[in-house]
Amino acid sequence: MMIPRIAPNRYGIPTLYVKDQPFLILGGEIHNSSSSSPAYMEEHVWPALRSLPLNTVIAPVYWETLEPEEGHFDFSLMDSLLSQAGREGKKLILLWFGLWKNGESMYAPSWIKENPGRYFRACYSPENPSDTVSPLCTDAIEADANAFARFMAHLRETDKEENTVIMVQVENESGFLGAQRDYSEQARTAYCSPVPPSMKEYAGIAIENKDSWYPLFKEDAPELFMTFHYCLAIQKIAHAGKTEYPLPLNVNAWLEQFPEIPGSYPCGGPIAKYMDLWKKLVPSIDMLSPDVYLSDFKGVCDAYSAGGNPLFIPEARRDPVTASNVFYAFGQYYALGFSPFGIEDMLPSAAAPGELPSPDAAVMAALQIDMSAFSSTGTGCYLQRSYEILSGMTGLLTEHRGSGKLHAFLRKNEHDKGIILSLPRTDVKLTYTGGRPDMPGSAGFLIEDGDFGFYITGCNFRIEVLAKKGSEKKVSLLRLEEGIFTGNRFCPGRILNGDERMRASIGPMAGVLRFEVCLY
């Protein structure tokens, strides 16, 4: 049985392998409810995706439909999704919407929700229960783990040869919204009890110490307490599934952001500052994945690629900057994959005029999401082109990950004018252009092609090849071609000379240029 896996390439870079071949996820996550109806998928989703050169669709699977009655399982929705994806030639990453989704328990089955005595809720205060099942509720965690194990076993039985499903996400943006910690009776007892040994080991505290959470961790105690218990819960669930079918597993993070008060984001989730704790306590998870709606794309990627964590972005912004960010993700961080959210309505043709969904301002404010991050106006055509370019050169990209011959760049803010990339025999001066919010940003990557040639792709920059600093040599441009990669082979278009040669550039619509120079 050949299972999708994550393993280092020859340069030590974590790489996803599908059927033993390196695979870059050019993905898109569909809306939360789309995969609940095979008919809806047939009528609205798959037709909209056919014009986007995706290779992977990220789609939810719901515990409430998979186990509508305790102990009775229905895999028909899941089977339909796999069948449709196979027909469309797409890989799938399935999202397990189990106990927790966006800090709540909205996808738990009714038999969980209707029995709060057994499956108790986390509480905002001692007498104020939430709609979120507590991460200290062992019965609920056992039930979720059992359902997830059955789900993964069914995947093994139905997909082990085809490998349509290449990864599974465990829960979705776990954590507790609305309070800094759980105040249920069980949680209050645990919070006032001695800190468990594994947590003391993580914090470098003597095992003999019998203090409870607050005396040891002070103002950080509530969030560390919740993080510890979410980690234990998700490890149990993930381990149960991985024992049945060891596909790569990830968890995704609703990011910590201003005002940085636990509970204003899901408290206990895999935020950047506690990634090392998650890595220690949840060994069944292969990666911690950021949902990137913040404007500081570089900062988020720096954090979530640290410490050997493979970068995978399951939810990216929907505005045009996502079409340029994707180049930096693959070129700088060797990302396993990239996936804007709500992919089925990215292109105007995906909905009738006047029917394109717009984000609800009140909802976006409550979720602390910048409205612009959810505005897809104009994004589809830019993303379509970026994915077209990347899909033709995935082999070249995977070959050069970690080789030292792949150089990425990104405009960080409006004051960032450009960058000089240092190649073995020349330098390349890139001057950033664009800057309008309704267009992609300035970003891309360069791949060396011998000592005096290179390919460059991305959005919004001008290119000038320079002699190395301090050299008395001059540069002569021998050949400049625009083109596209098809099957990892460069297919040249126009040879640019004359006026076009004097202003070599790529605009807001992504492109590919090949340079060949000499020194004299």
pLDDT of 361 above 80: no
Mean pLDDT of 321-330: 99
Q: What is the pLDDT of residues 209-231, one digit of tens each?
A: 999 999 999 999 999 999 999 99
Determine the pLDDT at residue 359: 62
Q: DSSP assignment, residue 43?
A: I
Burial of 499 (C-beta count, 10 Å sphere; 0-12/13-18/19+): exposed
Angstrom distance (rounded) from CA 223 to CA 486: 49
461 and 432 in contact (C-beta within 8 Å)?
Answer: yes
Cis peptide before 259 (omega within 30 of 0): yes
Give the per-residue SS3 of 67-124.
CCECCECCCHHHHHHHHHHHHHCCEEEEEEEEEEECCECCCCCHHHHCCCCCCCEEEE
Phi, psi (rounded to 5 degrees) for 132: -110, 125
Q: What is the pLDDT of residues 473-499, one digit of tens each?
A: 999 999 999 999 999 999 999 999 988
Is the pLDDT score of 98 beyond 60? yes
Which amino acid, one-letter code, is at 376? S
pLDDT of the residue at 353: 37
What pLDDT does residue 355 have?
42
CATH architecture, range 23-108+140-180+220-392: Alpha-Beta Barrel (3.20)
In tens, the pLDDT along 365-384 reads: 666 667 788 888 889 999 99
8 A C-beta contact, residue 176 and residue 226: yes
The pLDDT confidence band at residue 139, using thresholds 50, 70 and 90, is very high
Is the confidence at residue 76, as pLDDT, over 60?
Answer: yes
Residue 29 has pLDDT above 50, yes or no: yes
| Dihedral sign computed on CA atoms, order 15, 16, 18, 22 | negative
Does domain 406-519 fall under CATH 3.40.50.1970? My reply is no
Percent of the chain at pLDDT > 90 equals 91
Which residue type is seen at 259? P
Predicted TM-score (pTM) of the model is 0.95
In this structure, are residues 244 and 153 in contact, taking their beta carbons and an 8 Å threshold? yes
Dist CA 266 CA 256 (whole Å): 8
Q: What does each C-alpha distance from 254 to 54, 267, 268 come to in angstroms?
A: 24, 9, 10
pLDDT at position 352, please?
Answer: 38
Q: Where are the domains of the chain?
A: 23-108+140-180+220-392, 406-519
Burial of 475 (C-beta count, 10 Å sphere; 0-12/13-18/19+): buried
% of the chain with per-residue pLDDT over 70: 96
DSSP-assigned letter for residue 366: H
Is the Cα dihedral 172, 61, 133, 230 positive or negative?
negative
Is 322 within 8 Å of 386 (Cβ atoms)? no
C-beta contacts of 66-69 below 8 A and 24+ residues apart = 66/147, 66/150, 66/151, 67/109, 67/147, 67/150, 68/109, 68/110, 69/109, 69/111
> Residue 464 — pLDDT band, cuts 50, 70, 90?
very high
From residue 484, alpha-carbon distances to 51, 133, 390, 468, 511 in Å are 18, 51, 9, 29, 8
Structural contact between residues 58 and 28, judged by C-beta atoms closer than 8 angstroms: yes
- The pLDDT, as a whole number, for residue 410 is 99
- pLDDT tens for each residue of 350-360: 543 334 456 66
* Cα gap 406→223, rounded to integer Å: 39
Give the Cα separation of 91 and 198 in Å (integer): 38
